[in-house]
Amino acid sequence: MTTELFIQYLVAGITYGSIYAIVAIGFNIIYNTTGIINFAQGEFVMLGGMLSITFLQYLPLPPAIFLAVLVTMGIGALIEMLFIRWLQNPGILRMIIITIGVSILIREAALHVWGSDVRSLPYFFGNEISSIAISGARVSPQVLWVVGTCGLMVVALNIFFQATSIGREMRACAANRIAAVLCGIDTRNMVTLSFVLSAGIGALAGAVMSPITYTQYDIGTGLAIKGFTVAILGGLGNSLGAVAGGLLLGVIEAFSVSVVPLAFQDAIAIAILLVILFVRPHGLFGSSAMAGLKEF
Amino acid sequence: MTILQVEQLGKRFGGLQAVDDVSFSLRQGAIKAVIGPNGAGKTTLFNLIAGMLEPTTGEISFQGKAIQGMRPFRVAGLGIARTFQNIKMFAGMTALENVMVGRHVRSKAGFLASMFRTSGCRREEKAIRVKSLEFLDFLGIADCADTLATNLAFGQQRAVELARALALEPALLLLDEPAAGLNIYETAEIGRLIVRIRELGITVLLVEHDMSLVMDISDEIVVLSFGRKIAEDIPTVVQRDPEVIKVYLGE
């Protein structure tokens, strides 16, 4: 393999990997506050892309994306308030099945609204053929947008959880819900907020990746599977683990193309998921003792 | 002045009457203990007052306001804090952060202000930090502020939990077996602390098994047995009550 080709694969891997990481972090945020896996996470990414494309007909690009993110956040809040909030002591399994139902609902609604066409946002700078050179390899400037935006989101989320009172209260709610309630925190609002945050980061990732990966009504399922693999890989609930896991899966997928046919790319993600679930169900960076304390 | 009034309170779990027709009142600024053998309904009583359980019958009024069946985060917002027999720390957070969460009901920064780190919000965050450190200092564990709470010694974790409850600036503090798992020395220390907490103007209701601690610090004692109140008086009288002696020592 030439150096150029190596870098080409590496950059592609990092690009897809950072998208997987964002989906996985979306899983983690909701998992941490509720203990459930929200399988509609991939749909948030699809909505971010689709809504941006629609709003672009009436608005310039930045406000179109901004509005799409806001609307998706609203949809996230709505999902929580309609389907999760009023449940009395719901079982984990019941809530997970609800999120699968919601994901089907959103997908079908998207099919009705946007049809089954493959769409995409225009490149933020330049076009399909413009490229920049990195050590001899040619990559699209959009790649930098994807990686940069995902990186910024990770940093911003970290600041939010570590240095703001609401972030701290969300962590408290995740660590011990009863103690959080007795500190006067309305944990239901924290759950809503976790859906809003997850929807927001998913939608933003969906918008910036759209020019490279394209957007279709049913891309959510595939992304949810990849994101879930990454979340498990990094250890459920561990956001930095998700970043590492995302990049790892992205790079493995990219390099696998040089060994096996492209069509097997998804099979590789599923194979990794199965291996991890069999061998280290608590993830590469989690500890089995901690995992034993969790409900799911 | 009465701060807490419990009126004919009852809680039934299926066939078990855990709390049965219990009435008592709590004077502002007092330290009152609830004692009784295991399964007497002490913790259930606490859970009813804190809003974690809804009573089957009866009423609870706090500062003249009916609070039975109110959601627990609202009860906390009114100024009732509680600690647990089994310490409930926020894992993955430092001692200081644990206490800072306790300031929740005393802070008001909204989500947007928090996200954009407005100057008002930053000032409030700083005030929360300073105030929380004061509470840690009050309990003598300020030097543990930046240690992960779950890495602290058992006695220190109990102090952090107490600091977190105090951070709420409650009018009423419910302590569920504050001396459980502590040695004689630490128990005496927690006794002195509870008296100092009362000096801050906080009314204390505690469940405790350590009789020397209870007799030492309480102004009044309520004795429960099988969910019913069998005695209520000052420590020296309760100690000599024949029915209390019967319940504790057998016939």
Partner B contacted by A153 (CB < 8 A): no
* Cα distance from N-terminal residue to C-terminal residue, chain B: 38
Residue B179 in contact with residue B210, Cβ under 8 Å? Answer: yes
Interface probe, candidates A183, A293, A294, chain B, greatest B C-beta count within 10 A: A183
pLDDT tens, position by position, B19-40: 999 999 999 999 999 998 888 8
Tell me whether residue B55 is in a domain: yes
* Residue pair B57/B9 in contact by the 8 Å Cβ criterion: yes
Distance (Å) from the alpha carbon of B241 to chain A's nearest alpha carbon? 36
Banded model confidence at residue A296, pLDDT cuts 50, 70, 90: very low
Instruction: Say whether A184 and B104 touch across the interface (CB within 8 A).
Output: yes
- Say what the pTM is: 0.86
- Could you list the residue range(s) of the whole structural domain that residue B62 is in? 2-79+170-249
Tens-digit pLDDT profile for residues A64-76: 999 999 999 999 9
Shortest alpha-carbon distance between residue B101 and chain A (Å): 6
pLDDT digits (tens, 9 = 90+) for A82-133: 998 887 777 778 888 999 999 999 999 999 999 989 888 888 887 777 778 7
Task: Output the domain CATH number for residue B52.
Answer: 3.40.50.300
What's the token pair of residue A203? 């939608």
Q: Is A169 on the interface with B (CB under 8 A)?
A: yes
Q: Which of B47, B114, B125, B169 should be substituted to probe chain A, the one whose Cβ sees the most A Cβ atoms within 10 Å?
A: B114
**CATH numbers and ranges of domains, chain A:** 3-294 (1.10.3470)
Phi-psi region of B126 (alpha: psi -120 to 50; beta: other; left: phi over 0): alpha
Q: Tens digit of pLDDT for each residue in A224-234?
A: 989 998 998 88
Interatomic CA distance for residues A148 and A151, integer angstroms? 5
Residue A160 at interface with chain B, using a CB cutoff of 8 Å: yes
Residues of A in contact with B73 (CB under 8 A): 181-182, 184-187
Q: What is the ipTM of this complex?
A: 0.84
- pLDDT > 60? residue B215: yes
Q: Please tell me the predicted confidence (pLDDT) of residue B86.
A: 83
What's the mean pLDDT in B212-236? 90
- Asked if A39 and A103 touch (Cβ cutoff 8 Å), the reply is yes
Residue B233 sits at φ, ψ, to 5 deg, of -170, -175
Q: Is residue B242 one of the residues assigned to a domain? A: yes
**Does residue B146 sit within a domain?**
no
- Helix extents (H) in B50-153: 72-78, 95-102, 111-115, 119-138
Please check whether residue A134 touches B, CB under 8 A.
no
Question: What is d(CA A275, CA A272) in angstroms, rounded to the nearest whole number?
Answer: 5
* Total number of domains in chain B: 1
Q: Which A residues in the span 177-236 are in contact with B, Cβ-Cβ below 8 Å?
A: 178-187, 193
* Structural Rg of chain B based on CA atoms: 19
Q: Is residue B59 part of a domain?
A: yes
Write the residue in A169, A178, A187 that is nearest to B101 by C-beta. Answer: A169
Comparing B194 with A34, which gets the higher pLDDT? B194
Q: How far apart are CA A56 and CA A59, in angstroms?
A: 5
Q: Is the pLDDT of residue A61 over 80?
A: yes
| Two structure tokens written together for B8 | 């004919």
User: What's residue B251's pLDDT?
Assistant: 57
pLDDT tens figures, B54-77: 999 999 999 988 998 889 999 999
Q: Is B107 in CB contact (< 8 Å) with chain A? A: yes
For B23, the token pair is 């009435």
Neighbours of A58 (CB within 10 A): 9
List phi, psi (to 5°) of A25. Answer: -65, -35
Q: Is residue B107 part of a domain?
A: no
Task: Enumerate the residues of chain A whose CB falls inside 8 A of the CB of residue B52.
Answer: 178, 181-182
